[in-house]
Amino acid sequence: MRDLKKYLPKIKKYDITEIAIVNESIFRFFEAKSYEDDEQELVKNNLVAFVNWLAQEESREKMAHFISLFENASYPQTNLFVMTQTPDLYKKIMQFIQSL
């Protein structure tokens, strides 16, 4: 989540199973708070950019997997981060859920 611009071109080539691994890694990253306080804005912006990319992807499965992790109670700190630090992203997630 620190250098999305560098890795996104490679991630864009991933299939659903590889994206699932990336999604899980992102949730673990935020759950463990694997960033410094001064990096919070950067990782927040990269999370929003990543989810925006997922939402624009032709395959809704990739976004749906991210959403399923969000809905799961396994990552409470990640969910709290999304809800409190990225309210627009939280809104987008809720809209995606409602569209299913």
DSSP string, 46-96: HHHHHHHHHHHSS-HHHHHHHHHHHHSTT-HHHHHHHHHH-HHHHHHHHHH
Q: What is the pLDDT of residue 30?
A: 97
**Does the pLDDT at position 57 exceed 80?**
no
φ and ψ at 72, to 5 degrees? Answer: -75, 145
pTM given for the model: 0.91
Domain count for the chain? 1
How much is the mean pLDDT over the chain?
94
Identity of the residue numbered 72: N
**Does the pLDDT at position 85 exceed 90?**
yes
Domain that holds residue 65: 4-99
pLDDT, average across residues 30-55: 96
**Residue owning tokens 């992807």:** 57
C-alpha 72/C-alpha 1 separation (Å) is 21
pLDDT, average across residues 23-29: 97
* More confident call, 27 vs 55: 27
